[in-house]
A and B are shown apart, each in its own frame.
Chain A
Amino acid sequence: MYISSIYSCVNKQKTCYAALLQKVKEMSPPSSKKKIIAPLDFPLWYLYDEYEIPLYGDKGQYNEESSFFPEKLDFHHHEFDVAVSKQPAAKQALHAIEGMWNQHVSPSSMTDACKYLIYGHETLEANFYFTPAIYLKKKLKQKRIQPFSIHAKGSLVLYEAIQMCEALFSSSSDTSLPSLPSQLASISSSESCAAMFVVSDIIQPPMRRLWLDHYPKGDAATACYISPTHGDWKILHMFADEWPLEHHNPYIWSASLHASHQQMLLERSQQLLTTALQQYGTPCSYSCDETINKAVTVTPFTPSSRYVIMQHMDATFQHTLKATVEQHGGRVFTRESLAECNLLGSDTLYSLQQLEQQVAISVGDVVFLVLAGPIADVAILVLQKQ
């Protein structure tokens, strides 16, 4: 599989934790549901109330030790950049796709081959009746495209989308399942299939931009094409480690449960990165067939450069994984723009864009994208420049 034409929409603004906290307090919801005159305008409040999640300003439910606000941190007034969108997630996604199109002289040549429009998201759609994937299909005037949304594993949305494309574009013609000939015939050949992928996330109250000692979450949308036949970056391999939370509701966890999940995410990310670097990171000869996660065949060539791009989750995560990379002789690329902001599903793709703008990337160079969190799960995409 291949990805190409990556385009991100982010709106940077300078702020600090104190200012973010102040803004969060100003946007506090009504203190009781009875004061909400138009319930359909506040579906998220009803949902959070349904799950007994304390809203801003209400500390009645959760353990004081597990503060969701970094009030105890020393860098309360440390200035940093965060991405805050002024528009809904679907509009942000639309702009990302239009920006992706504008990179091409004739965008229709790419888009006409697209069978799917995949809307990825980690954060919640705040509008009860609104369907972003259908909105995008209508606004983009793509009559033949099949839209759908995908989410579940936090910031791993790109990995989830590529994995699903692998199944949807499969030209498997195994006739050992005799019940399926009509279905197999209808599965399009990989020659004519592609997907438009866009991930868009907006942190809107009562979703929290701040969480423990993590970098603040930022709003962003990133679009790209996913194709089984061609693109700017070939996906040599995908590694993933997914696991369920020990309890479904992290808002009522104890401090020790938070700590153990953070430690688990760190350790499992290190292990997976070590595996990926051992298999693809050392000067060795390799190539990959067209199918993700299948056996690798070996032909002699050596990639000239290998970079590792990590999710900007928090300082500990980045420093620990950087040490792992350096132990294996690799190089970490850390973007300077929005360096202390986690752009969620867009994060590693935004960093990849920054890498391409700042570093002379050659054909054959390999980049490892480490997608992780925010609480569990990690995936590593090994990309090679075409």
Chain B
Amino acid sequence: MVGLQQIACYVPEKKVNVSAFLPLSTSQTQSEMMEEKVISQYGLHHIAVEEELTVHEMIEKAAATVLQKHAGTEEPITWILHTHTFHPFTPYLVDPISSIQLDWGLENAKVRCIAQMNCASIDMLLQFANRLLLQEQQGAILLLCADKMIIPDSRYLKDSTVSGDAAAAMILSSQSEHHQLLASVIQCDASLYHSVQSDPADFAWFQQSFYMGLVKILRRGVKQAGIQLSQLTFIFPSNVNELTWRSIASACEMDDDVFYYPTMREVGHAHNADPLLNLQHALTHQALKKGDYYATLTVGMGSTFGCSVFQY
């Protein structure tokens, strides 16, 4: 059965207080109000900042951990799919995956970057990887994601969140005995294509309407998985902000505690790595029991949405 075989994340050691990334205001009062909002309402405290590695080196770190664990199996990795949120990713002609291929004997794996679903791209990767494994009925796929905010003053996302740096890797296998993938759904409403630089009316509409998109994609995901919302032990969401997930929990008549995102406080919004950071945290702290159902729930500028449902 198709499922997650391995998962690993790379988070930089340096953590910076979130207030360092908030835009300057005309008055100290306004600055303090914004800081208060970001900390108490959004739940953000520190942001992970990578100062030494390039983005592809961050991916190599995460990949090395999963590939080390996978090395003992005889299951070949036939594809390497990777994604990112922001452009540009690596310079033109630079091959971000070549070292991984050469270091781990993956020269024959097919490498593809599938993107532009913004922070819901990881669920798109899961869906496409699932289709590939269904078609080939053998082998495993290495999935990678990473973003590094190299542009000054780009971490604060207006009225939403603050971006951190991180990378995540996972191996999806057709022979997995754990973390069975039951469903993976994605949706793009194309409400805006220029993020915070969009027309203000479009951006305002996105801010109002993305809640509905999240509720819909979550319901679609569990329906396709053949379970009820109430059966989900945890939802591992994008580390956007606490306000969003409390609202979604309320709209779905679920307990706040079902939404599991402890890494948001110390990493920030690390884009496509978020649900995997939170899943890894749950596994490390033995929060999941065998048989538990869980889901990823992602939202990206656009409006893009993703939900993948697993059974542990």
**Number of A interface residues, CB 8 Å?**
70
A174 to B134, CA, bound (A): 8
| Interface stretch of the complex, out of A245-253, A265-273, A274-282, A295-303 | A245-253
Interface check B128, CB cutoff 8 A = yes
Which B176-198 residues have a C-beta within 8 angstroms of A?
180-184, 186, 188, 190-197
Interface check B207, CB cutoff 8 A = no
Interface check A257, CB cutoff 8 A = no
B92 touches A207 (CB 8 A): yes
Residue of B nearest to A51 (CB): B91
Interface check B285, CB cutoff 8 A = no
| Interface stretch of the complex, out of A3-11, A56-64, A123-131 | A123-131
A148 touches B115 (CB 8 A): yes
A160 to B184, CA, bound (A): 22
Interface check A27, CB cutoff 8 A = no
Q: Beyond A39-B152, A177-B174, A182-B183, is A164–B128 a contact (Cβ under 8 Å)? A: yes
User: Which of A44, A123, A128, A174 gathers the greatest number of chain B CB atoms within 10 Å?
Assistant: A128
| Interface stretch of the complex, out of B98-106, B230-238, B275-283 | B98-106
Which B116-148 residues have a C-beta within 8 angstroms of A?
116-118, 124, 128, 130-132, 134-135, 137
B110 touches A242 (CB 8 A): yes
Interface residue tally on B, bucketed by range: 35 or more
A180 touches B97 (CB 8 A): no
A-facing mask of B80-94, CB < 8 A → 1, else 0?
001000111111111
Residues of A within 8 A of B181 (CB): 179
Residues of B within 8 A of A39 (CB): 151-154
Q: For B134, give its contact among A124, A129, A180 (CB under 8 Å).
A: A180
A211 to B91, CA, bound (A): 14
Distance from B118 Cβ to chain A, minimum over Cβ atoms (Å): 6
Interface check B302, CB cutoff 8 A = yes
A148 to B190, CA, bound (A): 12
B-facing mask of A350-383, CB < 8 A → 1, else 0?
0000000000000000000000001110000000
Residues of B within 8 A of A335 (CB): none
A250 to B110, CA, bound (A): 20
A177 touches B116 (CB 8 A): no
B132 touches A167 (CB 8 A): yes
Q: Beyond A124-B87, A134-B304, A137-B188, is A244–B97 a contact (Cβ under 8 Å)? A: yes
Residue of B nearest to A240 (CB): B110
Interface check B95, CB cutoff 8 A = yes
Interface check B257, CB cutoff 8 A = no
Interface check A119, CB cutoff 8 A = yes
Residue of B nearest to A123 (CB): B92
A219 to B94, CA, bound (A): 19
B-facing mask of A172-206, CB < 8 A → 1, else 0?
10101111101110110000000000000000000
Interface check B301, CB cutoff 8 A = yes
B114 touches A149 (CB 8 A): yes
Q: Beyond A51-B94, A128-B87, A182-B226, is A119–B151 a contact (Cβ under 8 Å)? A: no
Q: For A248, give its contact among B99, B113, B137, B302 (CB under 8 Å).
A: B99
Distance from B243 Cβ to chain A, minimum over Cβ atoms (Å): 22
Interface check B224, CB cutoff 8 A = yes
A185 to B302, CA, bound (A): 28
Interface check A336, CB cutoff 8 A = no
A167 touches B151 (CB 8 A): no
Interface check A343, CB cutoff 8 A = no
A166 to B87, CA, bound (A): 27
| Interface stretch of the complex, out of A78-86, A99-107, A150-158, A229-237 | A150-158
Residues of B within 8 A of A251 (CB): 91, 93-94
A132 to B117, CA, bound (A): 10
Residues of B within 8 A of A246 (CB): 98, 102
A243 to B105, CA, bound (A): 11
Interface check A26, CB cutoff 8 A = no
B1 touches A178 (CB 8 A): yes
B193 touches A134 (CB 8 A): yes
A150 to B124, CA, bound (A): 12
A153 to B113, CA, bound (A): 9
A-facing mask of B213-247, CB < 8 A → 1, else 0?
00000000000111000000000000000000000
Interface check A46, CB cutoff 8 A = yes
Q: Beyond A134-B304, A149-B116, A244-B95, is A51–B90 a contact (Cβ under 8 Å)? A: yes
Interface check A147, CB cutoff 8 A = yes
Distance from B294 Cβ to chain A, minimum over Cβ atoms (Å): 15
Residue of A nearest to B157 (CB): A129
Distance from B9 Cβ to chain A, minimum over Cβ atoms (Å): 21
Distance from A210 Cβ to chain B, minimum over Cβ atoms (Å): 13
B2 touches A180 (CB 8 A): yes
A179 touches B1 (CB 8 A): yes
Which A2-59 residues have a C-beta within 8 angstroms of B?
39-40, 43-44, 46-48, 50-51, 53
26 contacts between A and B (CB under 8 A): A46-B150, A51-B94, A124-B91, A128-B86, A129-B197, A131-B193, A131-B195, A132-B193, A133-B117, A134-B192, A138-B190, A147-B117, A149-B114, A152-B111, A164-B112, A170-B131, A177-B2, A207-B92, A242-B110, A243-B107, A244-B95, A245-B98, A248-B94, A248-B95, A248-B98, A376-B95
CB-CB nearest 6 A-B residue pairs: A244-B98, A129-B195, A179-B1, A135-B193, A133-B116, A149-B116
Assuming A132-B116, A132-B193, what are 11 further A-B pairs, CB within 8 angstroms? A43-B151, A47-B150, A125-B87, A126-B87, A148-B116, A148-B117, A177-B1, A179-B180, A182-B225, A245-B95, A375-B93
